[in-house]
Amino acid sequence: MNSVDVYVGARLRMRRAMLGMSQSKLGSILGVTFQQIQKYEKGVNRISATRLKQAASVFDVDVDWFYEGGPAVDGAKGWAEGASRSLDVQFLSTTDGFRLNRAFTRIRDPKVRRKIIDLVESLAPPDDGGDSHPVDAVR
């Protein structure tokens, strides 16, 4: 699997979940099966430029949104933000990450939100800047 395909797939899943859309519904709109959507989301199959453009339209985002913060291609420099940024997006595309993010954004009181952030940071191990904890370990 290519890291860019995995990243784009994770962003596809994250946006679909944010909108509360099923894989079947998205598949129907894009003219593919829900199994194909699963393969796109896991990065097993590469989504075509045409389907990515259709998905961007359905999700009301620019095509560039799928690549924001993603890994560099073949060592290219510039737009990549490193492994930890990619790991953040991978976590947000998991069920737990999505649920946590969705619940957190419903909290309106900034003081409560800050206390939650402080609590989570106090429970988490120190961030060494490395990629020592794969996203599977936090699901």
Enter the pTM of the model: 0.63
Angle subtended by helix axes 95-105 and 83-92, to nearest 10: 80
Report pLDDT digits (tens) over 31-85: 999 999 999 999 999 999 999 999 999 999 999 999 988 876 655 555 544 445 5
CATH 3.30.1490.20 fits 3-138, yes or no: no
Residue 82: φ, ψ to 5°? 95, 170
CA within 13 Å, CB half, 102: 13
Measure the CA–CA gap between 9 and 90, rounded to whole angstroms: 10
Burial of 5 (0-12, 13-18, 19+ CB in 10 A): middle
9 CB contacts (<8 Å, ≥6 apart)? 40, 41, 42, 43, 47
Q: Which residue has the higher pLDDT, 6 or 37?
A: 37
